[in-house]
Every structure is written in structure tokens, then in C-alpha cells.
């Protein structure tokens, strides 16, 4: 049973379910990212209450990625035997409970502990989302669909600044964390009640998107070929270039402009919203482009844009700029992640269906490490340099240039590497 052989009424029914599963996946991704970056939005408020300096604040934001990375290793291995629905449920419940406890933190140590716990369960949400998208959409649409998921991630960053800062100003940061906790647990209930893993679970037994042979049992699929392929490292460094840009700018651009440009704290929500919306727009555009253009070429272009964005923010920390220039820079900053959809689409294309989610998870570890290093390293530099945001952002440029060089070298070598275990191209609707 394939898409082409189904009657139109059945195609319409599957399409309706596709919309439903996409909306659920977007909601899951919104709260995954909101629970991650909610702290970044309220650093200026939580730091005085808990007595955090810049180094500690950067570590609290960045350390989340440590157990997110550990979780990604474990959940990637478990993903071969867990359904998307189950992974999402476990991830959302664990994260939601952790967020509830985070409302009541009273010390730096408690904050670090809960950030570590939440990060571990957040990783399951991401991989569950990838499995859900790969199960409900044909491969030729993965670029755009994953682009939408990544756009939801960036939209969440937008919303935590646009809504979280005013809410915190009106109440306090504990109320803001409580709202995030409640939303995460509500999405967990919706996943339990509504999620289905593939069209097979709504009555289409044996359904496949095309006439290619059914994939091998994922439980027995070997994982070693993933690590032998250069495409894993292309994806990994591509993700790292994007996430360093996201984490570094989300954490330190606003505190930097408050310090160097005397920007009123009330404008933090607007700047955060613009940076997030910029990422949303460029991820959607990039997802559409990824289904029509060279994916390796898009990954390289995205890394080049990340370097240029880093240069722009560095200049804004070193010289006086107008508020209009700050708005313009925030509005175009999202171009650094335009290759996000191309990266994950490339992974689903280069690896067989049984191991593609695991390959995505292992590549994501590079991005996780990058997300941890960016705020922590920049915070360390700011603290040790006596408050020099310019020095921290110069480090941002250097690291993005290193990512770009690694990607150029890897892609040139990977051109002759078909990625062992790669499946056939899927072209059916």
C-alpha cells in the first residue's frame, strides 16, 4: 500500500492527520526550546535574586546542554526501539516536572541540578519529534517540515523574550517558570491522547510512501556505519555553527547592549522577539530551499552567514550604534541558521530509515556541545576580562570561522562517501 495507490478520500484523511501531527510536533518543539531558553530571557532578573555573576549565569544557561547531550546519546540508541509517541511522552513529563521544581530554586547549586535534569529529558522530545516527522512525511518533504520544526524552536526563543520579560516585570521570574511548566505538562497530555506514530496506526497497515522495499528492523540495524561516515560530521558541525550563533546571541546580545549601548531593559523583549522571528523566517525559507537546492551548498552558505552575523554583533559591542541599527541587526541575525532544514534533511537522505533518527541524534550532539560552550565561554570571557563584551564576541567570530573551515574540508571529502547504510531516494508524495 503506497500513497499513489490510495483513493483520494484516504489521501485526504492522511493529509488531515499530517496537519495534526505537524501541529503537535510544533507545540512540542516550542516548549522544548522555551524550557531551554527561558532562563536566558530572565538572567537580568534571576541573577540578583540568586547572587549570580556573569560567569555563573552563563554556566547555568550552558550547562543545560551537558545532560541534553548525554540524553541524546542514550535516547538515540533507544530510538530504534521506542515509538515517537512514547519518546515525546517521557520527554515532556520529565521536563515538565523539572520545570515545576525549578520554580522553587533558592540557590545556584539547585538551579544547576535542575537544569541538568531538564536537559536530559528535553533530548527525548527532540528525537521524538524527528521520528514523528519522518513517519508522517515522505523524504522529499523532510527539508521543509524539519525547517518548520526548527522555526518553532526559534519562535519559542522569540516568545520567551517577548512574553517572558514583560510577565517577569509584572510578576516575577518564578511565575514565568511556572507558566512554562504548566504548558509543558499540558502538551504531554495532548501527546498521550492524540499522537500516532505513522499512517499505519490509523488503519493503513503496511503503508509506505513509495514502492521501495520496507526498511529493515531498526532494532537490529547496526550503528557503527553512522560513525564511519563523514556525513555525520558534516551534519554535526553544521548544527554546531547554527547553535553557537543561537546560544551566543540569545544569551549575551541583550546584556551586551544594555551595558555598551545603555539600552533600556524594557527594550529587551523587542530585541529578543526580533532575533527569534528572524530565525523563524530564515528557517522556513531555508527549509523550502533545502527541498530544491544542494543541501551541502546550503550548509556552507549558512556557516558563512554565521560568520558575518558574528562580525556584525562584535562591531555593535565595540562602537556606538543607533537603536535603529540594533533593530536591523537583530532582524537579519537569523540568516545564520538558514541551513538548518538542509542539515536534517541531508541526514535523512544519507542514512537508511532504520538508523536515520539515531544519526540525527548523534549529529545533534555537536550542536548541544556548541550550545553549552557558547554562553559559558562568552560569559567566562566577559567576567575574566572585566566586562569586555567585545572580547567575548571576537571569540564568537573565531569559532564560527573554525566551523566554516571544518565544513568546507569535510564536504569536499564526503562527496565520495555515500554513507554506509544509506537508503534509496524517496520521491513519492
Q: What is the CATH number of the domain that holds 313?
A: 1.20.1250.20
For helices 230-260 and 54-62, give the axis angle rounded to 10 degrees.
Answer: 150
- pLDDT tens digits, residue range 214-257? 555 455 555 667 777 888 888 889 989 988 888 888 788 888 89
Asked whether residue 426 is assigned to any structural domain, the reply reads: no
Asked whether residue 192 is assigned to any structural domain, the reply reads: yes
Q: How far is CA 122 from CA 85, 110, 113, 382, in A?
A: 14, 18, 14, 28
- pLDDT tens digits, residue range 377-396? 888 898 888 888 999 999 99
pLDDT at 386: 83
Q: How far is CA 231 from CA 118, 342, 356, in A?
A: 29, 12, 12
Indicate the number of domains in the chain.
1
**Domain around 157:** 16-205+228-414
Asked whether residue 165 is assigned to any structural domain, the reply reads: yes
Asked whether residue 429 is assigned to any structural domain, the reply reads: no
51 class by beta-carbon count within 10 Å (0-12 exposed, 13-18 middle, 19+ buried): exposed
Residue 372 CB coordination number (10 Å):
25
Query: CA–CA separation, 128 vs 326, rounded Å?
Result: 37
Query: CA–CA separation, 271 vs 248, rounded Å?
Result: 14
Instruction: Write phi, then psi, for 174 (nearest 5 degrees).
Output: -70, -40
Asked whether residue 222 is assigned to any structural domain, the reply reads: no
Query: CA–CA separation, 420 vs 226, rounded Å?
Result: 7
pTM over 0.85: no
Query: CA–CA separation, 402 vs 177, rounded Å?
Result: 36
Asked whether residue 11 is assigned to any structural domain, the reply reads: no
Asked whether residue 141 is assigned to any structural domain, the reply reads: yes
pLDDT at 214: 52
pLDDT of 325 > 80? The answer is yes
Asked whether residue 214 is assigned to any structural domain, the reply reads: no
Amino acid at each position: 500500500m503506497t500513497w499513489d495507490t490510495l483513493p483520494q478520500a484516504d489521501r485526504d484523511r492522511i493529509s488531515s492527520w499530517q496537519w495534526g501531527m505537524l501541529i503537535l510536533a510544533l507545540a512540542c518543539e516550542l516548549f522544548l526550546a522555551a524550557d531551554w531558553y527561558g532562563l536566558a530571557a530572565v538572567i537580568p532578573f534571576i541573577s540578583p535574586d540568586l547572587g549570580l555573576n556573569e560567569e555563573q549565569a552563563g554556566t547555568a544557561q550552558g550547562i543545560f546542554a551537558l545532560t541534553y547531550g548525554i540524553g541524546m546519546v542514550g535516547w538515540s540508541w533507544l530510538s530504534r526501539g521506542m515509538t515517537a509517541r512514547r519518546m515525546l511522552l517521557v520527554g515532556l513529563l520529565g521536563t515538565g516536572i523539572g520545570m515545576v521544581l525549578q520554580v522553587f530554586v533558592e540557590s545556584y547549586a539547585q538551579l544547576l541540578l535542575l537544569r541538568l535534569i531538564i536537559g536530559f529529558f528535553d533530548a527525548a522530545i527532540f528525537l521524538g519529534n524527528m521520528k514523528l516527522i519522518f513517519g508522517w512525511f515522505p523524504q522529499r518533504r523532510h527539508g521543509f517540515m524539519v525547517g518548520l520544526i526548527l522555526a518553532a524552536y526559534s519562535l519559542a526563543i522569540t516568545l520567551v523574550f517577548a512574553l517572558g520579560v514583560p510577565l517577569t516585570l509584572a510578576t516575577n521570574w518564578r511565575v514565568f517558570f511556572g507558566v512554562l511548566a504548566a504548558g509543558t505538562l499540558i502538551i504531554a497530555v495532548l501527546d498521550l491522547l492524540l499522537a500516532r506514530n505513522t499512517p499505519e496506526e490509523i488503519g493503513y497497515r503496511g503503508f509506505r510512501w513509495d514502492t521501495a522495499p520496507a526498511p529493515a528492523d531498526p532494532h537490529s540495524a547496526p550503528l557503527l556505519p553512522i560513525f564511519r561516515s563523514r556525513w555525520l560530521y558534516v551534519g554535526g558541525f553544521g548544527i554546531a555553527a547554527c547553535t553557537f550563533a543561537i546560544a551566543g546571541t540569545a544569551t549575551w546580545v541583550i546584556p551586551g547592549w544594555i551595558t555598551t549601548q545603555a539600552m533600556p531593559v524594557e527594550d529587551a523583549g523587542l530585541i529578543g522577539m526580533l532575533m527569534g522571528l528572524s530565525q523563524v523566517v530564515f528557517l522556513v525559507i531555508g527549509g523550502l530551499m533545502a527541498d530544491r537546492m544542494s543541501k551541502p551548498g546550503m550548509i556552507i552558505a549558512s556557516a558563512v552567514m554565521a560568520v558575518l552575523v558574528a562580525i556584525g554583533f562584535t562591531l555593535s559591542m565595540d562602537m556606538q550604534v543607533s537603536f535603529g541599527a540594533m533593530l536591523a541587526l537583530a532582524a537579519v541575525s537569523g540568516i545564520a541558521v538558514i541551513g538548518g532544514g538542509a542539515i536534517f534533511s541531508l541526514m535523512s537522505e544519507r542514512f537508511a530509515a532504520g538508523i536515520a533518527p539515531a544519526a540525527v541524534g548523534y549529529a545533534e550532539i555537536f550542536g548541544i556541545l556548541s550550545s553549552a560552550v557558547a554562553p559559558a565561554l562568552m560569559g567566562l570571557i566577559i567576567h575574566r576580562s572585566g566586562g569586555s563584551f567585545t572580547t567575548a564576541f571576537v571569540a564568537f567570530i573565531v569559532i564560527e570561522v573554525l566551523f566554516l573551515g571544518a565544513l568546507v574540508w569535510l564536504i569536499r571529502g564526503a562527496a565520495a562517501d555515500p554513507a554506509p547504510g544509506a537508503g534509496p531516494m524517496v520521491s513519492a508524495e
